[in-house]
Chains A and B, each alone.
Chain A
Amino acid sequence: MKQIIHIAGRELSTFFDSLTAYVLIVIFLGFSGFFTWIYGADVFFVGQANLNTFFTVAYWSLFIFIPALTMRSIAGELKSGTLELLLTKPVSDWQLILGKFLSTFLLIVIALAPTVIYYFTLWAIGPVDHSAILLGYMGLLLMSMVYISIGLLASCVASNPIIASLVALSVGIFFHIIFDVLAANFVGFLGSFFSYLSLSTHFESISRGVVDSKDLIYFFSIAFLCLFTSKMILSNRNL
């Protein structure tokens, strides 16, 4: 566990040293703030004390940002040779993967943290459904978890960070919308199958305020599967 924290800590400080973290946080807060409070279907336009607009914006922007964060995680280390440095230290493949996962996850938490202000502002304006907002955040974190794992897997598969990011995005887009579109076009078993695979189905059901074990199993199993495959790819390296 200590090794995971050390690796995650180093990675996180690299995000901040290289300005990646600041750029991400500024763009994320700028986007979400703009659409939640100022433009389009903002809170005042909707006239309801909920953060649905914010969750939708965050849902999309995290989907786009996460591959950019994870693309270098393994592919970058492999390219610069530092993977050899790390894996000849007392670090197991699992610890490395989980450390990388944790660092990106923590960065997302840090990016989401300031938006808690939105919640308090809203609370001051009108009656807020507290549990719905809490679950909305939980949905975002679960979704990030899935996309980080997909990004890590892509970074293990592709040796080039740019390719890794494109692979992660194109795999991600299936979960993000394509399965949803397919679900709408099929009926019966296939329809419900695609609907179950679609991440948006599960995200919406959680952010509506309903936590079903089915949704949790969905998020955790995809994340685990991707992390496990990443670990297997890393262990079977032939360098």
Chain B
Amino acid sequence: MDIVVERLTKRYGPQKAVDNVSFRVKAGEVLGFLGPNGAGKTTTMKAIACYIKPEEGDILVGGYSIHEHPEIIKKNIGYLAENNPLYQEMNIIDFLEFIAKIHGIPKYLIPERILDMIRTCGLEGEKHKLIGELSKGYQQRVGLAQALIHDPDILILDEPTTGLDPNQIVEIRELIKRIGKEKTVILSSHILAEVEATCDRILIINNGRIVVDGTAAELRKQAQGNEILKLGVQGGNIDAIFESLFEIETIDSIDLLDSDKQLFEVQSLPSTSSVKAIFDTCVRKNYYITELTPTETKLEDIFRVLTLH
């Protein structure tokens, strides 16, 4: 099922939480939703899950509009809300049974589905406990189990790994990856590495607007622009090396990083590479290269640049 968000706008009082946002998620895609706190991620996800109604714009899920057929959309969506609300006073099995009934799963299939979910989400040891007695990580698994129990085509997960320990984070990520092979997944997070590890596509939202839409590789490319090299050259006087490097036509700027180790940061002109020229120059002047590393812009830096203003 495709998800098409068309000019979505949602206001809270005078403030626009989401401002004219449009995007499309293809069936089988895993979309990472990024943005600083209060950017409008949760609002957009709540609107897709039919919990809130946007003032303007529409969302089509598998061709059905959230305004006209919310009940059909809700049947096909598994939703894990941000703070993972659960009935604390119920035990896991009763709770999952209730959710299964609400989803209209045939009675004879319910025990099988519950067992399946308990296995998939690693809840075997805790299944008779009350939800309120579980640790946060296990509660998060129950949250995932309730989102998955009716085998939905679309999964919407709002910060699924907050509060989990590193092992659980890895487990949940793997689970999402496994699920993502068959289902459309929208996942929000603050953690860029997580999004990079699990998602096919990244959407960065800031102040209610989309600022980036693309794969992690595209994002890097876009933000990186010019080639930046970390270069170490020895075998000559530092000033002489500096000057010979400056003679290379494709080099835009050179910064001295460390005068003892003779480390430079070399930035090339747009869409050129200076690697070969540097190498040739060094051979000609009898210098030797101690280090030549392309500097990769970190996703974190891109995120900061794009969302700081």
Using a CB–CB cutoff of 8 Å, the interface residues on chain A facing chain B are 2-3, 6-7, 10, 13-14, 17-18, 80-92, 237-239
Contacts and interface: CB of A to CB of B under 8 A. Distances in A.
Contacts of A17: 89-90
Contacts of A6: 98, 101-102
A239 B102 contact: no
Nearest to B77: A88
| Residue from B49, B89, B101 with most neighbouring chain A CB atoms (10 Å) | B101
* A-B CB proximity, top 9 nearest: A81-B85, A88-B49, A88-B79, A90-B74, A82-B85, A6-B101, A89-B102, A85-B85, A90-B75
11 contacts: A13-B94, A18-B89, A80-B85, A82-B86, A85-B85, A85-B86, A85-B87, A88-B50, A88-B79, A90-B103, A91-B102
Nearest to A6: B101
Contact of B87 (A82, A89, A90, A238): A82
A1 to B, nearest CB: 12
Sorting the interface of chain B by its residue count into under 10, 10 to 19, 20 to 34 or 35 or more gives 20 to 34
Contacts of A82: 85-87
A239 B52 contact: yes
Contacts of A83: 85
Contact of A14 (B51, B52, B74, B89): B89
Contacts of A239: 46, 51-52
B98 A10 contact: yes
B274 interface: no
Interface of B: 12, 46, 49-52, 71, 74-75, 77, 79, 81, 83, 85-90, 94, 98-99, 101-104, 146
A91 B75 CA distance: 9
A82 to B, nearest CB: 5
- For the residues of A in contact with B, the DSSP-based class is helix
Contacts of B74: 88-91
B56 to A, nearest CB: 14
A87 B51 contact: yes
Contacts of B79: 88
A84 B99 CA distance: 13
B113 to A, nearest CB: 15
A80 B132 CA distance: 12
B12 A81 contact: no
Contacts of A86: 102
A183 B90 CA distance: 48
Contacts of B71: 90, 92
Contacts of B146: 85
Given A89-B74, A89-B99, A2 B89 contact: no
A182 B94 CA distance: 50
Given A3-B102, A6-B102, A90-B74, A238 B51 contact: no
Contacts of B49: 88
A90 B101 CA distance: 10
Contacts of A92: 71
A69 to B, nearest CB: 16
Contacts of B104: 2, 90
Which residue of A17, A83, A90 has the most chain B CB atoms within 10 A of its CB atom?
Answer: A90
A144 B286 CA distance: 98
A8 to B, nearest CB: 12
A80 B101 contact: no
A10 B51 CA distance: 21
Nearest to B143: A85
A238 B52 contact: yes
A85 B89 contact: no
Given A17-B89, A80-B85, 6 more contacts: A6-B101, A18-B89, A80-B88, A81-B85, A84-B81, A91-B102
A88 to B, nearest CB: 4
Contacts of B86: 82, 85
